[in-house]
Every structure is written in C-alpha cells, then in structure tokens.
Amino acid sequence: MGLNSKTNLKSQADLIRYEDGEGKNTAERVGKLLAEIIENTDQSLTSETNARVQQDNILQQTASTASSIANTAYSEAKEAKSKATTAQSTADSAKATAEAAKKVTDTKGLPGGLATLDSTGKVPASQLPGYVDDVVEFNAFVTGITVQLASTNKKSTDVGCMVVYNADTNCFVLAVSNRSVSLDADWGVVLRPQRLASTPSTAIVGGDLTKVQVTDYWNIKDTGITLISSAFTYYNNWADADSFGKSNLEGRVPEAGKIYTCTAVNTTSRWSGSELITIGSDLALGHTAGTAFPGDEGFALQQTVDGIQIFPYDAICYHTNELSGRPEGTIAFAYDEHCFKILKDGEWVYYDDYNTEENFKKVPLTNRIYRYGDTLQAMRKVAGQNYYVPVSYVVGSDEFDSIKARVEDIAASNI
C-alpha cells in the first residue's frame, strides 16, 4: 500500500470518527472506507507476496549456483587429489627404480655384479666365467725371439699388438709392433693374414700417413704363413696377460682344459702340460671314413679339376639354315659338315675355338668336354667314317672310359 493511500484512508477515517453532524456518517461513507481499506490491503499483500517470491527465486538461483560451484570445486579437488596420488606413486616408483639401478651400477666390474666393456666393446676376459672363456685366441707361433723381461701397460686388444706362442719356451708373450700404428688402422687384417692378405690399412709412422699391409708383418708363401719376428718387440707381461695363463719369467703358461685358436693359420690346439698340441694332427691318412685324404693326392686332384673347363654350345642342326632368328654369337653343331659354327655378323662361319682340321676338313676338337643344355658330351668318330658326332657322357660306360683315355689335355678356354 502506497503512502498516499495510507494518508487518504487516515483522512477518511478521521472524518468519520470526528463527524458530529447528524446524518453525515452514512453507511455509504463507512462502506466506501472499508472497501478502500480492503482493496489497498489486498494490493499491498499482492505486492509483498510478489516481492517475496522474487526474492525466493533469487535465493534459489543463488543457492543453485553456489551448489554448482561447490560441486565443481569438489570434483576438481577430487581430481587434483587423484593426480597428486598418481604423481606421488610415479615419483616413488622412479625413486625405487633409480635406487635399484644404482645398486646394479655400483656392482660394475665386481664379482657377481655388472660386467663392463673394454675399449673394443667386449666384456674383458677377467669378468667372464671360466666356461665362457674356454676358447682363447692368439695370433701366431714364433721361435728364435728375444723376450723383454719387463711389463708393458699395453693390452692384447690394442692396435699394433698381438699375442704369440713362443715355441722355444712354450709360453705366450705380447708382440708390440716396432712401427707406430694409428688408432684407426684396420689391425684386424694383420691379425688374420689368411683372410685378407692383400688389404691395406692406414697407420702413422713418425707423423706421416703410410699404408700398413699384411706383408709388413707376415711372410706369405705357398708353403705357409710365418710372422716376421723382427717387426716386433716382445714382453713377458702385459695388461690383460691373466687371460692367457699363469705367469712365469718367460711369459704366460697355457692352462689345461682350454682350447687355443691361432688366427694366423686357423688351427686349434690344447695344452698337453708341457706344450701346445694341434688338435687333429694325429689323424691317419687314407681313403676311408675317419681318415684324412693325402695332401699330395688332393693337390694333384685339385690341379686336374681346376684345369677342367666345360665348353657349351647352343644348338644342334642338320644345316644352319634351320636356325633362323638366333642371336649373334650362337654356337651350333651342324651335322651336314660335322663341325661347329658360330653366327657372326649375320653369317654362319666355322668356329675355330671348337674346331681343328683333319685331312683338309674341319672337325670338332676331341680333347675337351662339351655341354649342350644339361648334357655333357664328347666327340666320337663314327666307325668306318671320317667324321665325328656328339655323344653324351654316361658315367661308367665304355664310351666314357674311352673318351677319358683320349683326353690328354684340357683346353683353358673360358665358358
């Protein structure tokens, strides 16, 4: 209810209250006042109710917003707590891993611990169990050398160094090149002369680049490979000498139960207790299973086999006119002339590499083996005639034995 309405109603009420004139306070005047009071009261109540409803709505919206904010904050707090827990777990795991790794790395090079690598990227023999290190490589057999009764800090794996077996004292010693060899030199070529005997590697001598070759350190002949002993200085003790046996004044004595491999000649040996014995050297010679084939016979056989050449040809015909469309260089045996021809510059001509002359006539050479397709052949003279025809080899047949007897020389023609 407004201020004006209140003032107006109060004025009317005072008028009725203090009216003393007869007939003035009529029912109409009183009723009108009551009606206005009721109407104004109703309007006032309605306005107040609407205001309260509006305030309630505002309060509800505020409460809803506050609840939403509170829920979001709770969710974010819960997520943050979860992340914090995860981060703590990750940190704990990383810490545990780091501690475990440290425990392992702290054992590097120790018994029962982590093995290390040397400058060549290999596990040192001193850190390997005995059963792993049962095969020991050395590089040569030598005699007639002078050994320095002194230690060197060099290793057998260093460039310019190799371990050799002194057959005069039956001990291993370290041979150190008298020439300065660069760190990037392919020293492995020198250590294995049979494998790459002609491959050079770079070395530094007196500050100048030179080429170190296998022949700088080895005498390589058909009869074998021997070390040029004057190219080295020899020491009876060196940095990794323990890998090669027990120490004595002459060097390192090999151990029983190990296999020793010489890289120069690709042989294996065992320690007999007094010297290295090449394994298999007592194998009997013979031509049966369990024996070694005699070397002289094998060499003679190798020479014979190396001399054998197979001479291929491409076609057999009665007349070369039958061979149209053949590529240049085609070799054919022609029955009409009983000899070989070759297609050259578009013409079929006699192929003198496969033919000879007999009684002023071209005939095939008979002292060689021919191949036509997958068949090996020889040339056989037809009985009662003066010409030859190709006959396939049949192992064990009379023809084969006869042909073999007539082959006195194997021509060295390329296939």
Per residue in 349-395, pLDDT (tens digit) is 999 999 999 888 999 998 888 999 888 888 988 888 889 999 887 65
Q: How many domains does the chain have?
A: 3
Residue 292 has pLDDT above 50, yes or no: yes
Beta bridge partners of 172: 165, 252
* Residue 166 β-bridge partners: 142, 171
CA torsion sign for 14, 16, 17, 19 is positive
In a domain, residue 198? The reply is yes
Q: Give the global pTM.
A: 0.40
Q: How far is CA 307 from the centre of its chain?
A: 40
CA distances from 343 to 213, 335, 348, 349, 354 (A): 49, 16, 4, 6, 14
207 — pLDDT class (breaks 50, 70, 90): very low
Alpha helix locations (H) across 123-174? none
Residues 189 and 260 grouped into a single domain: yes
Query: Do residues 227 and 190 touch, judged by C-beta distance below 8 A?
Result: no
Domain boundary among 40, 72, 103: 103
Please state the length of the chain.
415
In terms of domains, do 371 and 248 share one? Answer: no
Higher pLDDT, 111 or 323: 323
Residue-wise pLDDT for 233-251, tens only, equals 999 999 999 999 999 999 9
Indicate whether 343 belongs to any domain.
yes
118 in a domain, yes or no? no
Residues 157 and 188 in one domain: yes
Are 194 and 245 within one domain? yes
Q: Considering the domain boundaries, does residue 412 fall inside one?
A: no
| For the ranges 17-21, 177-181, 238-242, 267-271, the one whose mean pLDDT is highest | 238-242
**Residues 18 and 66 placed together within one structural domain of the fold:** yes
26-30, 62-66, 116-120, 214-218: which range is least confident on average? 26-30
| Same domain, yes or no: 135 and 58 | no
| Whether 86 and 47 share a structural domain | yes
Domain termination residue (choose one: 69, 103, 137): 103
Distance (Å, rounded) from C-alpha 269 to C-alpha 282? 12
Chain mean pLDDT for the chain: 80
pLDDT band at 174 (very low <50, low <70, confident <90, very high): very high
Three-state secondary structure readout of 160-177: CEEEEEECCCCEEEEEEE
Residue 168 in domain: yes
Which of 258, 278, 298 is at the close of a domain? 278
Those residues whose C-beta lies under 8 Å from the C-beta of residue 141, and which sit 6 or more positions away, are 164, 165, 167, 227, 262, 264, 265
Residue 284 lies in a domain: no
Q: Check whether residue 173 and residue 259 sit in a common domain.
A: yes
Per-residue confidence at 399, pLDDT binned at 50, 70, 90?
low
What's the rounded mean pLDDT across residues 408-415?
37
> 36: domain range?
3-103
Q: Note the pLDDT of residue 188.
A: 82
Candidate ranges 45-49, 101-105, 172-176, 384-388; pick with highest mean pLDDT:
172-176
